[in-house]
Amino acid sequence: MDVGIVFGSSGIRGIANKRVTSELAVSVGLAVGSRCNSAVIGRDPRTASEMVEYALVSGLTACGCDVTRIGLVSTPTLSYAARNYDCGVMVTASHNPAEYVGIKLWNRDGTAFNSDQQEEIESIIDQEGSYPIYRGDRVGWDTIGRISNDDRAILDHKDAILSRFNEVDCRVVVDCGSGAGATITPYVLREMGCDVITLNAQPDGFFPARNPEPIESNLTLLMDAVRTFKADLGIAHDGDADRMMAVDKNGRYITGDELLALFAIKEAKKVAVYPVDVSRMVDDVIMCDVHRTRVGDVYVAEELKRIRGDFGGESSGSWIFPRISYCPDGIYAAAQLVAIASQESIADQIAQFPKYYIMRGASACEEGDDIMSPITEELSALNYTQITTIDGIRLDFEEGWLLVRKSGTEPKIRITAEARDKETAEGLYYRADTIVRRHTRC
Ligand code: MG
């Protein structure tokens, strides 16, 4: 089988009817159905999601798998529902632009299918011309899977979150970005006692209001609305609401590292888990041990499960609360953030965090080149206090740290440097950059 016909670097994801076709979805459905007796399936509001869902259902049932449909839901709702089935199937392209669609597979405990599980699915799908073809068996006419609908999945997820929080007093603006978060987050926050003002709360696969990725440049409407309505907080989701970012009462975008610190203080009693690129500020303000991982929420979830940690997250907006699931849960995160904000202003809490200056950049390199070895060798000769090689190379010094790692998605070497002031961070950055540039020739 050609590499990558099914799973790419972001799972199964691509432009609808180009990379992700109904043929691919039928084949994936057949392959998953041949390994599972029961599956629950949900979808985000993208224009192709329902088409892909029907193709998946057809494949799943043709291999004898019973399928329960829960309709338009957030990814955390689907993965929470997966606890009652052999697997969960979510049709979503997460935060990607509107023309994308994707499929993500989930285990009962809310972990995504790992690389071994993905390889098993790929191993029974071949490519014939430009079409993927399932090579396994199908069941006889009398054992074709049954299809049912369950309209309680959102309520179950909502109740599971609400049972963990007390009543709050908070005015909050929620920007659902026309995504699946509109089916749950405003309702959860209202039941907690919040005065909720919604933006873009009509799911729409064209994402007419904003790009689904909840980065600062996409959230100007939310920032304005928080100030206009004198809210305590603004919440924003990506297209499938596994991610959540926020703005404070002044309309200022709260960084991912600041959110990570706020959640870790509240949730992590023993161990917090986060990637190697997170700010030293978080280490400074939390009281528990830290386990660092490769960059990517899948690695954070794996490590959390392995060590039975309390909380983990990634600065891009993925927050994992193992007490509910190993799937990043933007809805639970929104509930926890309003609970934190109702006790003390988020802006005041963040003002007490130590300040660091962080610098990020990248250098293009040749595809497939193993240039990290000579770069690592040269960086290792520097006079550091600690070295970490979980993902690329991170060197800690008294005055700050730097990280040099190969991008997982582009032919680039990424450099991050952080220190208490700009000059020191720049100094660290350019030390690494000089070495990286010597080895990248494009
Ligand atoms: Mg997402």
Ligand 1 centroid to residue 242 C-alpha, Å: 5
**Mean pLDDT taken over the chain:** 94
Ligand 1 centroid to residue 142 C-alpha, Å: 38
Report pLDDT digits (tens) over 212-253. Answer: 999 999 999 999 999 999 999 999 999 999 999 999 999 999
CA 439 to CA 95: how far, in whole Å?
33
Nearest CA to 60 out of 4, 18, 121 is that of: 121
Handedness of CA 393, 394, 396, 402 (dihedral sign): positive
Looking at the chain, which residues constitute the CATH 3.30.310.50 domain(s)?
357-439
Ligand 1 centroid to residue 92 C-alpha, Å: 8
pTM, two decimal places: 0.94
Report pLDDT digits (tens) over 118-128. Answer: 999 999 999 88
Kindly list the catalytic residues: 94
Handedness of CA 27, 16, 406, 296 (dihedral sign): negative
Residue range 154-351 in CATH 3.40.50.1100? no
CA 440 to CA 365: how far, in whole Å?
5
Ligand 1 centroid to residue 296 C-alpha, Å: 12
Report pLDDT digits (tens) over 241-252. Answer: 999 999 999 999
User: In this model, does residue 106 exceed pLDDT 50?
Assistant: yes
Looking at the chain, which residues constitute the CATH 3.40.120.10 domain(s)?
12-151, 154-351
Can you give the pLDDT at residue 1? 36
88 to 62, 157, 163, 413: CA distances (angstroms): 17, 14, 23, 35
Q: Give the residue carrying structure tokens 């020191």.
A: 424
CATH of region 12-151: 3.40.120.10
Q: Give the residue carrying structure tokens 């280490």.
A: 283
The fold adopted by the segment(s) 357-439 is TATA-Binding Protein (3.30.310)
